[in-house]
A and B are shown apart, each in its own frame.
Chain A
């Protein structure tokens, strides 16, 4: 069992956040991992950073993966977080289901983790696993450790065979935050791309879903909408396996609309918003819902749409 953790900064590398992430990794004292940093083009590390990277055993560049049945790749942003025990939980699932795509439930990295965990535990207060754990824990103080323990107690997974389900596509298609089986990676496709996960998903017969969050992240729609848009536009609908083209068309519609919704909340600059509108308008697919932002954009110029939506 081995996990390649490939860190891909979303824009300029945030060294402080990277340090936090590496500390979270090292704090887990899990040995079967290789750390890798895949810097965006044109970026390099300072000599101090290089020294630190060496100390962390953090390789820089394209990860050199040796495929094996229980070897997995996890792409993460430098802004993402790992929850305690993440590696050991994944290792257990990989042990049960080698060579399967593993989809991870996540918390939102832009919201305080404690609050989210508390919310999660409250939502599952009636779960018999949690009540059983309460009976066994003698110290009832509401500490972080107790919360973490409760999350571990609730951890469960499902084996999902409804691969072509639109409802679950956003869980299964994302360039970062999925455990990808190394033997099924497509070497000709960039490792951190929508195309890579889509190709993998098309050839999958089942997906394992780990239901209790083990990482905290934000979706690409929020963090890098332009990059996400180009990933979506890069999908070649003509060369998908049977049944996938209509599904991905719908999925893209949803994602475009979501990009517009999120960007409209002034998450991006005016220029980026305009660029998004222009690029989406160029996409020829007809919208499914006429009165969605995407539908309205078909009838308006990007500039008018910008006035309306932003």
Chain B
């Protein structure tokens, strides 16, 4: 047998182990056995475990990864050992490519070439169905600068027939041209050491391993590989890496629920790491590998240790005296020349520890601050205000009556923060100082109102108030570097009833920041209260945000109070006047969602608005006007000049609630605007011309669009026109559904949400 694939697994990793089995089934060769090593017994006789290759289960003595790999190696029968982790996967030709390599010696250290991604196997396989390309890789998940740009091209063997007869090509060259790889030998043997120092995706000769009795460290749960790897490197004069990646390493994008070993929060992580390094280095003779390993580990210390030890750091390192003892001992072992290669400050710190096992705290703090400052200088001053926030503003006393508001990241003066602000100013004038965060260029701001300041987002005053205001009222997320100071209170108003799956309910967030889930989790822990519009939202937020229900305010949305106000009709007339809409005309509000796939439909922008405005004007122009509320990108390319006073483009209008108030009927699609509009109990039509195409997206919705909506799903302009011509019939037909919908989503919206939120959130302040 050619290969023994070794995969350790934890009891919680059953599903991903099964996914890996599916992946291995796609290998173009079956000349391998798969050894799965873990403590959870698996019944391999089940149908789902049947495969065209041998699968064997191994029970390790201990539950560590090292013990699992050792147990598997002990029973392996293949010529070569291949190390594959249960969350990773192989490209279909991986094993066949290695099989095809000629002249492999037992002392070759083979690397399948790791490719990092956040995309799990299932999602990658799904993406393959949309392309005819045969070399597709998942989305790059490594550092941006190291992104794989150029792919090496393997060539057919008959290419050599084109060379003149005096060909210098041997069969080894021919073999190489068809399966290109990179060789590192001699002086270059330990180049790119970081890539070599990971066991996953590596292939080693089994006899070589057995002959030297190499073992993984069973006691070190976090870093079991270094000793094994360095010993293997020592005995293999050649490192061979395939030119094109064949091993996909999946990084976990949900470190909260599903952390990888490297993401596990462990205050003793540095202790484990140093122990592993020490074990490895002590067994290395003086020579190139000793130098390479010293250099590699010193670089790790230089990059990551100081941040963890700085006084300002949030990460906790347990028992730093013990860590210093360990580091002191380790530094005695490293190659002294490599220490000299480090930058001055870093060298001084490590030399100090080498002399004496003590944390040179002052030097470390200085270095960390210099690094922060250096980052600002490199970005030509960008981030200087944030540095001031971090270094100084957060040390200033808290202003007990100041409230900081932010709506849609400063894009407008709107939403629940605006409603809360208005309520406070009306009912408690002069009690608070209000600070609004606004981007430059926003036309409608509360500037000039009493007790109110407007500050520019990320500007100096913004940083000052972000650090010192006692109250923060924000409807999206605060910056990820925000420091929640003791004594301050944070109100997250959020900005809508969830329609599409959020955060922890999303299958895969490979397209956004891969650490989105973890960042969101940290940010939401800083919220003291979360405003919710209905019981449905409470239930969703509980799992989607993993947010405790007792910190949610079951109040309804303050922004929707205007829709239940007793004087809403007068307000509507005023808004109509403000927008220049004739008072005798009824209003259709069209608010479609932004389809980001339109981006690829070249030349499609002008036609993105699928609603036939011309026909609408022709048939309904006497009675109605159309108010458009779309994404600015569509709006900018939309030519409405031919429609005279029939179309009002209010896409940049600050407060959508005011548009709801004047609209007699709403046309929308997959946008969550209808939750709010339904409070008015006016008709809603869903213009879903691309409903079939949206199938996969709809699966990621909390609502069943077929059964849960308070209005009809209409796919053509004919249907829309027919419905508009006879709205009473639509209202009648959907009366029951509308009632169910209102009961489910708008039961709390009685026009007093602002009051409930203010009374709870500012309770202490108002009662004093």
Chain A residues close to B by CB (< 8 Å): 27-29, 69, 84-85, 88-89, 91-93, 95-100, 128-129, 131-133, 135-139, 141, 143-146, 148-149, 152-153, 155-159, 202-203, 205, 210-211, 241-242
Q: Which 9 A-B pairs have the closest CB atoms?
A: A241-B603, A139-B168, A241-B602, A156-B150, A155-B153, A128-B182, A96-B135, A132-B183, A84-B162
B146 at the interface (CB under 8 A from A): no
B606 at the interface (CB under 8 A from A): yes
Partner of B166, one of A84, A143, A210: A143
B134 at the interface (CB under 8 A from A): yes
A89 near B155 with CB under 8 A, answer yes
Binary contact readout B162-200 vs A (1 if CB under 8 angstroms, 0 otherwise): 111011111011001100111111001000000000000
Q: Which residues of B contact A148 (CB under 8 A)?
A: 163
Closest to A127 in B: B182
Closest to B600 in A: A205
Give CA–CA (A203, B180) in the complex, Å: 33
Count, A-B residue pairs, CB within 8 A: 115
A158 near B149 with CB under 8 A, answer yes
Give CA–CA (A143, B184) in the complex, Å: 25
Tell me the minimal C-beta distance from B164 to chain A in angstroms: 6
User: Could you list 8 further interchain pairs (A-B, Cβ under 8 angstroms) beyond the known A28-B162, A88-B156, A156-B151?
Assistant: A29-B162, A88-B159, A96-B134, A132-B180, A149-B168, A156-B152, A158-B151, A159-B151
Tell me the minimal C-beta distance from A117 to chain B in angstroms: 14
Q: Which residues of B contact A29 (CB under 8 A)?
A: 161-162
Q: Which residues of B contact A133 (CB under 8 A)?
A: 173, 176
A145 near B159 with CB under 8 A, answer no
Tell me the minimal C-beta distance from B391 to chain A in angstroms: 39
B182 near A97 with CB under 8 A, answer no
Partner of A137, one of B134, B159, B168, B606: B168
Chain B residues close to A by CB (< 8 Å): 132-135, 149-156, 158-159, 161-164, 166-170, 172-173, 176-177, 180-185, 188, 243, 600, 602-603, 605-606, 637
Closest to B153 in A: A155
Partner of B150, one of A69, A205, A211: A211
Give CA–CA (A136, B243) in the complex, Å: 15
A97 near B135 with CB under 8 A, answer yes
B168 near A141 with CB under 8 A, answer yes
Closest to B192 in A: A128
Give CA–CA (A100, B133) in the complex, Å: 9
Q: Which residues of A contact B151 (CB under 8 A)?
A: 156-159
- A132-B182, A241-B603 known; A92 vs B170 contact (CB < 8 Å): no
B150 near A145 with CB under 8 A, answer no
Closest to A139 in B: B168
Q: Which residues of A contact B164 (CB under 8 A)?
A: 144-145
Closest to A208 in B: B133
Tell me the minimal C-beta distance from B544 to chain A in angstroms: 32
A85 near B149 with CB under 8 A, answer no
- A156-B150, A156-B153 known; A138 vs B182 contact (CB < 8 Å): no
B176 near A132 with CB under 8 A, answer yes
Partner of A89, one of B153, B170, B602, B606: B153
Q: Which residues of B contact A242 (CB under 8 A)?
A: 602-603, 605-606, 637
Q: List 20 A-B contacts (CB under 8 A).
A: A29-B162, A85-B159, A85-B162, A88-B155, A88-B159, A91-B156, A92-B154, A97-B132, A99-B132, A132-B182, A135-B183, A137-B168, A145-B163, A145-B166, A145-B167, A145-B169, A148-B163, A152-B155, A155-B153, A157-B151
Give CA–CA (A93, B153) in the complex, Å: 8
Closest to A93 in B: B153
Partner of B168, one of A89, A145, A205, A211: A145
Most central of A29, A69, A98, A241 by chain B CB within 10 Å: A241
Tell me the minimal C-beta distance from A105 to chain B in angstroms: 12
Tell me the minimal C-beta distance from A120 to chain B in angstroms: 15
Give CA–CA (A89, B156) in the complex, Å: 8
Tell me the minimal C-beta distance from B18 to chain A in angstroms: 30
Give CA–CA (A98, B134) in the complex, Å: 9
Closest to B149 in A: A158
Give CA–CA (A266, B132) in the complex, Å: 48
Give CA–CA (A284, B276) in the complex, Å: 71
Partner of A96, one of B133, B150, B159, B182: B133
Give CA–CA (A196, B591) in the complex, Å: 39
Give CA–CA (A144, B154) in the complex, Å: 21
B180 near A153 with CB under 8 A, answer yes
Give CA–CA (A147, B340) in the complex, Å: 42
Give CA–CA (A144, B165) in the complex, Å: 11
Give CA–CA (A129, B152) in the complex, Å: 9
Q: Which residues of B contact A92 (CB under 8 A)?
A: 153-156
